[in-house]
Structures are given as structure tokens and as C-alpha cells.
Amino acid sequence: MAAKDVPHGLWLIGIGPGDLGHMTERAKSIAKGCSKRYLEGYTAVLPKDQEELLEEVVGAWERLMRPSVEDPESLLEEARGESVALLVVGDPMQATTHIDLESRCMEEDVRFEVIPGMSATSLAVSLSGLQSYKFGRQVTLPYPYGEYLAVSPLEMIGNNRVNGLHTLVLLDLDPTGMGFDLPTPMSPRQAVSILERMAEKTREEVSGGLSLPDIRGWDGILLSDVGTSMQRVTSGTLDELSEMEGGFVHTLIIPSKMSDNEKDAFRRRKES
């Protein structure tokens, strides 16, 4: 598809979870046909080897970080007169940032189109072997910022567990919280340590203390580099998973009560 065939406007294009082979033919065609292409570089991350292939697949591109997406005047001005692709790892509309971008386009009468991509979150649930209908609210585990440590992620995990629901835990990508620099994905070791610190802070803040099980003794499933050739899915206690080396982008699943079939799937992933 040539540039003249793609209508002007902002095209949000999902490129799949880390491997360009997951891009749909329509996504490739629209991206190639746009006048300009930007890779959104802070809500998710594309492995280096796939970044190096991106120009071959869709054409020349530039990286766009948080300030240019959350304050998108320049982006919208370009999209008023030409076709502009914003390439997003995974599925574009799963991030609040991109929903806000849609709102800005509607307010300023800029054409806005979405080309969905395969989501790493839905893929993670499928790969876990757990039943999708038994998942509760999804949680993002942030890095601590200075002296500030949020405990709400642990509270949400606890609520899901009490209600018999599994939790998909997305690990933070940016230690600064600013979105200016290239992502630095959180490691399994860091994730478990942060959950422990949240538990300790919760105990200190609740009058009389709070009875919480040992975080490291919880069951978990670690999904590393989902959707890439380096994909790995491992089950065990959080203590065991915290010792896992290698991988780049990680996601945790913390199961609640598992059915017999789910327990079998959990054991198989431990043995693999």
C-alpha cells in the first residue's frame, strides 16, 4: 500500500508482543503506507534484534518517548495533513496513554484509527495453563520511587486471592517513572523483593499488625519474553522464581486456589 493510499490521520498500529512475525498483514501494509512511522518506546519494549528488523518490515522510523505521546501537539499537527503511524508493542489500546491519545484526536478533529495487535497479556494467560475466567483484576508492579513505595498492588493481589482469582502481574519497565529513557525491565529478583517490602510496609501501617503469609512461599508462574523465540514459562514458589536468570521482559502470575487441571498444568511448567 503506497503512502497516497493511506488516509491522513494518526494510525495506532499493534506490532505484537516482541516478535515482528506476529504483525498482521494489514498492520504491515498500513505501516508501510504511512508517510511517517514512530515506535512508541516507553509503555512496552521491543527486543533489540527485532528493532533492527523493523525498518526492513515497515520502513524508516523514529522513536517516540513519553513526553511526545502525553503532550502530542507535534504528533497531531503532523497527522492533520499526512498519514502517521504510531507503532506500539502488543495491542495499542491496552494502555491508558493511548486511550487518552484517542480522546485528544477526537477533541482536535484528527482522524484516529487503530490496527489491533496480539496482546502479551492475553498470551501470558493462555501460556500459564490456568483458566482465563478465573483471573481477577490485573496489577502493575511499579519500581519504588525514592522513599515512596505503593502497597496497593499487593492489596489487589490479596483481594484477588481471597476471592479465588488468579492475578496477572505486569512488571514495571522504568525505574525513573518519567518515560524519557529506554526501558529497564524489572527482574524477577527485584519483583519478589518489592512485594516483600510492600508486605512489610503493610504490616507496619496496620494497627496490631497484619497476618500475611510469607510472600516467598506463594506459588507463581514466571513468563519471560512472551511471544519471542526466547519465550520461557516456569512455575514454582516466588522464592524459586526470584532466582531465575536470563530473559529480558518478565510477567508474573500469582495463582489463587487452583483446580486439579490447573494444578497439573502448574506442575508441568515446573518440570519443563
Mean pLDDT of 59-70: 88
CATH number of the structural domain 121-271:
3.30.950.10
For residue 154, name the pLDDT band (cuts at 50, 70, 90).
very high
So what's the pLDDT on residue 208?
Answer: 45
Region 243-260 average pLDDT: 94
The fourth-level CATH superfamily of domain 3-118 is: Tetrapyrrole methylase, N-terminal domain (3.40.1010.10)
Q: Average pLDDT for residues 86-105, to the nearest whole number?
A: 89
The pLDDT, as a whole number, for residue 89 is 92
150: pLDDT strictly greater than 60: yes
pLDDT, mean over the chain: 89
Tens-digit pLDDT profile for residues 54-63: 999 999 999 9
- What ranges do the domains of the chain cover? 3-118, 121-271
Give Cβ neighbours of residue 170 (< 8 Å, ≥ 6 apart).
121, 138, 139, 140, 141, 251
Cβ pair 220, 254 in contact under 8 A: yes
**DSSP track, 116-143:** ----HHHHHHHHHTS-GGGB---EEEPP
Q: Where are the beta strands (DSSP E) in 65-176?
A: 83-88, 112-115, 139-141, 167-171
Residue 186: alpha-carbon gap to chain centroid: 12
Using the CB atoms, write b or e for 199-230: b if 16+ within 10 Å.
Answer: beebeeeeeeeeeeeebbebbbbbbbbbbbeb
- Tell me how far apart the alpha carbons of residues 9 and 164 are, in angstroms, rounded to a whole number: 44
**Predicted confidence (pLDDT) at residue 39 exceeds the cutoff of 90:** yes
pLDDT value of residue 69: 82
The pLDDT of residue 243 is: 95
- Per-residue pLDDT, averaged over 33-60, amounts to 91
Condensed to tens digits (0 to 9), the pLDDT of residues 211-249 reads 555 899 999 999 999 988 899 999 999 999 999 999 989
